[in-house]
A and B are shown apart, each in its own frame.
Chain A
């Protein structure tokens, strides 16, 4: 019974300790605000370093068709959501990058004629065209296949919180 109590105490300590250390970090962060940050509200120097170290990779990731305002919106909204979800934790550039590129957008895949099997990044969707669903943001490679028709292939840029339409007219073989 005593060992169970010790185990419980260890778990309790492990659960409480990250929150305690981050409270100190957030207090320090409030004291140092900066104006170089492109989004509102301004952030601390410490957070700015995390943001800046993730920014080049983030820009490279979204460079395939996203306009500059789109990328800035992803950066700002991604940062805001990331901070909201990781409140009280040590902020990390790699985690932010992963977070920002794993948000979800909408993808509508249609074809003429319909009923073509869909593969997104070489992985099959469970529905045939015309279908819609949510998937991770970024440039997605889509292949439509239907017996008797040539494959329809192309890229779609899925944006966070927006519908992206991918349509192909399939040609007979």
Chain B
């Protein structure tokens, strides 16, 4: 027992980071599941005007930025962990493999929900064109205050920032702690 090799400080930190990443992934999964099981598919409607359309443009630009950043970070981490000859993952790097897998999954979930988000907005804008208001005025989906749209946006934001954090852990572990 006295001869057992002492664990290196770096190894402990690597495993701690991996555990933190797993906890983060579990928290994201549970919160997404809970949000979907408690949020209705309600989309509020407002009177059609220029500002409502402008809000849609802003929201789409925001989603576009999340897409670009997501692809960029995902590309970066794959370049480092798979392509780069000096830093690439080995089968023995279990903590880094776990973190890499979680980061990739989070970004893939983010990209999937970005697509869903775009589809829902596209579809609801298309379908609402046939719903007249009380006075026969045109209506438009309330992009900023609709529970169903917020639900998807929330998932995107959560997955992006969690993915970013886990990517940071992975890079730190690969380049500095291994």
Contacts and interface: CB of A to CB of B under 8 A. Distances in A.
Contact of A163 (B39, B84, B129, B131): B131
B30 to A, nearest CB: 18
B130 interface: yes
Interface in B59-76: 71, 75
A74 to B, nearest CB: 11
Interface in B29-58: 37-45
Contact of B75 (A4, A85, A134, A163): A4
B39 A7 contact: no
A102 B152 CA distance: 15
Question: What band does the interface of chain A fall in when counting residues whose beta carbon is under 8 Å from B?
Answer: 20 to 34
Contacts of A134: 42-45, 124, 127-128, 131, 141
Nearest to A124: B40
Contacts of A103: 123, 127
A133 B45 contact: yes
Contacts of B124: 104, 134
Interface string B2-42: 00000000000000000000000000000000000111111
Interface string B60-102: 0000000000010001001100011000000000000000000
B126 interface: yes
B147 interface: yes
Interface string A84-101: 010000000000000000
Given A3-B79, A163-B131, A81 B39 contact: no
Question: What band does the interface of chain B fall in when counting residues whose beta carbon is under 8 Å from A?
Answer: 20 to 34
A7 B78 CA distance: 9
A47 to B, nearest CB: 21
Interface string B112-132: 000000010011101111111
Contact of B43 (A3, A11, A104, A124): A104
A121 B84 contact: no
A78 to B, nearest CB: 11
Contacts of B44: 126-127, 133-134
Contact of A135 (B38, B43, B83): B43
Nearest to B83: A3
B126 A162 contact: no
Contacts of B84: 3
A126 B147 CA distance: 7
A106 B122 CA distance: 16
Interface string A119-157: 111011111000011111000000000000000000000
26 contacts: A3-B79, A4-B79, A7-B78, A7-B79, A7-B83, A102-B123, A105-B131, A106-B45, A106-B131, A119-B40, A120-B41, A123-B39, A123-B41, A124-B40, A125-B40, A125-B42, A133-B42, A133-B43, A134-B44, A134-B127, A134-B131, A135-B40, A135-B42, A135-B43, A135-B148, A161-B131
Interface of A: 3-4, 6-7, 11, 81, 85, 102-106, 119-121, 123-127, 132-136, 160-163
